[in-house]
Chains A and B, each alone.
Chain A
Amino acid sequence: MGTATFILVFFIGAISLDLEVGSMGLPNFGKVAFFAIGAYISTLLYSEYNVDIFVSILIALAVSGLLGFVVAIPTVKLRADYFAIMTIAGGEVIRLIFQNEQRWLWSTSVIGTKSQVISNKFRIEFAGEFPFNQRLNDFLATTLDDIGSLIEELSELVLIPIIKDIPLISDILHFIKNIISLIGSSIRDIGGTSILDDIGTFIEGLSELVLIPIIKDIPLISDILLMIKTIVSLIGSSVRDMGLVFMWQIVILLVFIVIALFVYWFVQKVRNSPYGRTLRAIREDDISVSSVGKDVARFRWQVTTLAALICGLAGIMYAMTFSSFEAGEFRPFLTFNLYIFIIIGGLGNSKGAFVGTSIVTLFLHASQTQVVKEVINMRLGPNGITLPEISLIGIDFSKITEEFLSPIVGPLFEILRIDAFITPENSAIVILGVILLLFLLFKPAGLIPEKKTDTGKYLSLLTVKQRERSDVAVQTRQSLSEKERLMKETEGEPPPI
């Protein structure tokens, strides 16, 4: 659940970065600043200064947009590299201001002293309010109970006063009434048990069935079956855990999904419009865009401001998921996370941003769990590289690694003390770094590269007659006007193709 909200928040952040880097070619390395602004201002205004929550959100958005504008103005005419440097500086300045400005930007704790840790009063209050403070199980229980009793009561309505006394019809009516009230009471019964618990346990039980008796002993297949079993039972236990989720978490998730969809739609609309087309042209060659009479600087500051606004929104959402946070969390590392998402996912398109964000975040979160840590640690450690004992096409891979690679890698680990920094904790990040390098080398466009525009989009605006000539020309690979001219020149000879 937490992972899902994180994915959505960072997806919005990644879209805002992608708009700048992918569509426009402006590398902005100070994104974390606007994240921080959105987060800080919205929570501070509500928690410290008791401004109404919607107003504080609006103010936070306005401030992040304004600051995006302020950052853009002096840097807009700089070359891309210098723009990047300036944005790093800007980001750090903002983070330091938030960390150190005691008078206005630190929260007052209960004792009255100022503290750096901002507590998100809104989130705490929201989580505490009924009905949001119930767990899903209880919520389902109570609502199902209510729905069930409501249906039971409604069943009474079937007995329409006068008609019900007519002998045959009264039997039918009573029959219907009983059915409906039966439905109602069974719903109540479902509410009485905890459904999610049951479904979860059921799925877990199913997972055992995967280990089909005879087949499971074949070496390679047993590994695969084991993997499938683990995945299925994981699904089962997460269904069970879902019951323990609080209602406010679900509400936040739903709200975030709606916001993410809106942002996605908005950004797509911008990208597919003439505005987006000009942005791509600026990315390719901004000098020729200027020479056709467009003000490149205007496009640049507009995009930077818009991206800052969207990032501020992401920051606000980020803050809402926590009950407290502090400035130190908004380090440049967050910006580089966003870059990883869009490089792996695909520059220049929003789908790529989503795929990249989800995959990498899932990976990073999954690697925090004990199970995965052990797997990674097992495979890559001071003992060298170990692979599971697979014999594939007669070659025993584990033996190869043991005999050839491990003697090299193992001592290497010890001499260079690599295990000092490739610990189980951060080996996930090391792997991520390697994957990123591989992507940059072999697939720089990312998993989902930017779609080439379909010229049909424009041609469909024309009537068939208007586009006929050019369509024929495209098919025959020769312009019709050229054909005609050549025919005129050679007077009747067949034109060369």
Chain B
Amino acid sequence: MRTEPDSNRNNIKGIIGVGLFFFLTILIPFLKIGGGFLWGDIGVDDFSLSIDLFWDRMTGIINNVPFNTDYRGYDNPIFASIGVEEGILFIWLIIPLWNSIWLTLGILGTVLLLIPPLMNIRKKEPIKFPLGLIGLIIGLVATGVQYCLFLLLWVLEDWGEFSPHINLFILGCFIFGWILLVNGYRYPRKTIEKTGHIPTEDAVSKKDITLEAENIYKYFGGVKALEGASVMVKRNKLVSLIGPNGCGKTTLFNVITSWLDKTNPYTEKEDIENKRQEVGSVRFEGERIDGLSAHEAALTGMMRTFQTTRNWADLTVLENLLVAPQSQTGESLWKNFIFWKKIREDERKNTLKALEVLEFLEITHIRDQVAQELSGGQLKLLAIARLLMSDPRLILLDEPMAGINPTLGNKIMDKIVNLTEEATVFLIEHNMDVVFNYSDEIFVMARGKIIAQGTPTEIESNKEVIEAYLGADY
């Protein structure tokens, strides 16, 4: 039932990134040496010759070790001042030496980068720390130094065809690689750790908590939407979140489902210690889901609806439901051309499931209609149906009763209560009848904080809640 985030894919991406890095660091030096397009005038032999000369020079540094002055004779006043021959040798040695350093660094970096993905690919665990970034930094530094050196050489003598443009190109390659690794093809920045350590007093009670959002702060510049909000949702229960408009309910939902990142509330410069630490956490079934992107959070089994129903207008109702299931084989471009049978099988199963879901929500008769033609109530039901296609374990509903007449509302709520057998439902609502009749537990929010929580009877008599609702000045 549950679909796990495909962290193996990240490992593969890591290996591809490494391959790119390897290509750039190992092969680029061969492109760079000398003038000309590919190999240029200097080949592998010059490498070894230069290294030999270099070692000779190092050992015979005091002695006058004779060397080949004809080797690319240059005419340059600057060289004349430091001794032409030495000048040439110095420069020509530095290049291959630097290149060999580069080569060494490149090989080292590649090895470093390759180990974690290869180790993890069997365990299907995500990478623990951004080695890719480290490797790239090594490459960038090496390139930077190379570039400066060549710039110097270019100033000192006229190399004609060969120019620092090539170095710019290499720099560009590295920047591109950096964009690649950082912009979504990366190892996940925050890892999903399993909470090995369970605090002692809460050991028993925390077992039935499915969603735990602890101490969440969210600031939009000057607007403080959430100020240390914490919710704990128990498994297989219907939990409501209520509060006056603008108190941060939808923002809390957005942070929980990773549509927004939580912020660190310590904005003052003096709070340097606190600024560095992470404040607040979101845990789903014991695992932290803070750093995931929105779609990855959805893949962990957490589905949500939106305050204004969003649907795919041009698609029929059946198609709307068929897009919803996760990790379909048919969603990979090339697999469509190879795994025909499997895709057909998946489509068949999904269509059956779609029909079941439609039956459950009693909207089978709109199966062939285009979503554009549906009424508001039907659209709401469609949004819930879409959500059910992926068998979620946690369902977050943002104002499901908005704009629905009471009869249909009760019908929908009966269905939603049915869902709690297999999943947990966490909903935001303003309709107090619905909230007090159907919820197992209620959280009350005001001004970005949770001010009360408990069963409906407890909340009804809570003074603070009454104050918040009657005294709210929004």
From B257, B320, B348, give the contact of A461 (CB < 8 A).
Answer: B348
Closest to B351 in A: A458
A275 and B332: CB pair below 8 A?
Answer: yes
From B180, B314, B331, B352, give the contact of A462 (CB < 8 A).
Answer: B352
A296 and B295: CB pair below 8 A?
Answer: yes
Query: In the complex, what residues of B have CB within 8 A of residue A297's CB?
Result: 184
A79 proximal to B (CB < 8 A): no
Q: Which of A10-18, A163-171, A366-374, A476-484 lies at the binding interface?
A: A476-484
A466 and B390: CB pair below 8 A?
Answer: no
A467 proximal to B (CB < 8 A): yes
Query: In the complex, what residues of A have CB within 8 A of residue B319's CB?
Result: 277, 453, 455, 458
B311 and A453: CB pair below 8 A?
Answer: no
Query: In the complex, what residues of A have CB within 8 A of residue B294's CB?
Result: 290-291
Query: In the complex, what residues of A have CB within 8 A of residue B348's CB?
Result: 461-462
B359 and A470: CB pair below 8 A?
Answer: yes
Query: In the complex, what residues of B have CB within 8 A of residue A292's CB?
Result: 295, 298, 303, 323-324, 326, 386-387, 389-390
Closest chain-A Cβ to B101's Cβ sits at a distance in Å of 29
Closest chain-A Cβ to B342's Cβ sits at a distance in Å of 11
From B332, B336, B344, give the contact of A269 (CB < 8 A).
Answer: B336
Sample of 20 A–B contacts (CB below 8 Å): A74-B183, A274-B346, A275-B332, A284-B311, A288-B306, A288-B310, A288-B386, A290-B295, A290-B298, A292-B295, A292-B326, A293-B296, A294-B331, A297-B184, A458-B322, A459-B318, A462-B348, A469-B364, A479-B362, A479-B364
B355 and A73: CB pair below 8 A?
Answer: no
From B316, B347, B367, give the contact of A274 (CB < 8 A).
Answer: B347
A474 proximal to B (CB < 8 A): yes
B360 proximal to A (CB < 8 A): yes
Interchain CA distance A269-B346 in the complex, whole Å: 17
Query: In the complex, what residues of A have CB within 8 A of residue B311's CB?
Result: 284-285, 288
Interchain CA distance A128-B326 in the complex, whole Å: 56
A478 and B365: CB pair below 8 A?
Answer: yes
Q: For the A-B complex with A73-B176, A292-B298, A292-B387 known, give 13 more contacts whose Cβ atoms are closer than 8 Å.
A: A273-B343, A274-B330, A278-B323, A292-B295, A292-B390, A293-B296, A293-B326, A455-B368, A462-B348, A470-B359, A479-B359, A480-B364, A481-B364
A275 and B364 in contact, given A290-B295, A291-B295 (Cβ under 8 angstroms): no
Query: In the complex, what residues of B have CB within 8 A of residue A291's CB?
Result: 257, 259, 294-295, 298, 303-304, 306
Interchain CA distance A274-B319 in the complex, whole Å: 10
From B3, B179, B298, B358, give the contact of A74 (CB < 8 A).
Answer: B179
B365 and A293: CB pair below 8 A?
Answer: no
A274 and B313 in contact, given A294-B331, A478-B365 (Cβ under 8 angstroms): no
Closest chain-A Cβ to B353's Cβ sits at a distance in Å of 11
Closest to A273 in B: B336
A287 and B310: CB pair below 8 A?
Answer: yes
Interchain CA distance A320-B186 in the complex, whole Å: 41
Residues of B whose CB lies within 8 Å of any CB of A are: 3, 37, 161, 176, 179-180, 183-184, 257, 259, 293-296, 298-299, 303-304, 306, 310-316, 318-320, 322-324, 326-333, 336-337, 343-344, 346-348, 351-352, 355, 358-360, 362-365, 367-368, 370, 386-387, 389-390
Closest chain-B Cβ to A50's Cβ sits at a distance in Å of 13
Closest to A296 in B: B295
A230 proximal to B (CB < 8 A): no
Interchain CA distance A54-B131 in the complex, whole Å: 40
> When each residue 306-319 of chain A gets 1 if its CB lies under 8 Å from chain B and 0 otherwise, what string results?
10000000000000
A479 and B365 in contact, given A281-B312, A291-B294, A462-B348 (Cβ under 8 angstroms): yes
Q: Which 9 A-B pairs have the closest CB atoms?
A: A274-B330, A293-B298, A482-B362, A473-B364, A284-B312, A461-B348, A479-B364, A479-B362, A288-B310
A274 and B331: CB pair below 8 A?
Answer: yes
Interchain CA distance A173-B129 in the complex, whole Å: 89
B365 and A485: CB pair below 8 A?
Answer: no
Closest chain-B Cβ to A285's Cβ sits at a distance in Å of 5
Interchain CA distance A444-B409 in the complex, whole Å: 38
Closest to B360 in A: A481
Query: In the complex, what residues of A have CB within 8 A of residue B344's CB?
Result: 461
Query: In the complex, what residues of B have CB within 8 A of residue A287's CB?
Result: 306, 310
A302 and B367 in contact, given A274-B328, A470-B355 (Cβ under 8 angstroms): no
A453 and B316: CB pair below 8 A?
Answer: yes
Interchain CA distance A295-B327 in the complex, whole Å: 10
B315 and A469: CB pair below 8 A?
Answer: no
A289 and B326 in contact, given A294-B295, A455-B318 (Cβ under 8 angstroms): no
B295 and A293: CB pair below 8 A?
Answer: yes
A293 and B299 in contact, given A73-B180, A461-B347, A474-B364 (Cβ under 8 angstroms): yes
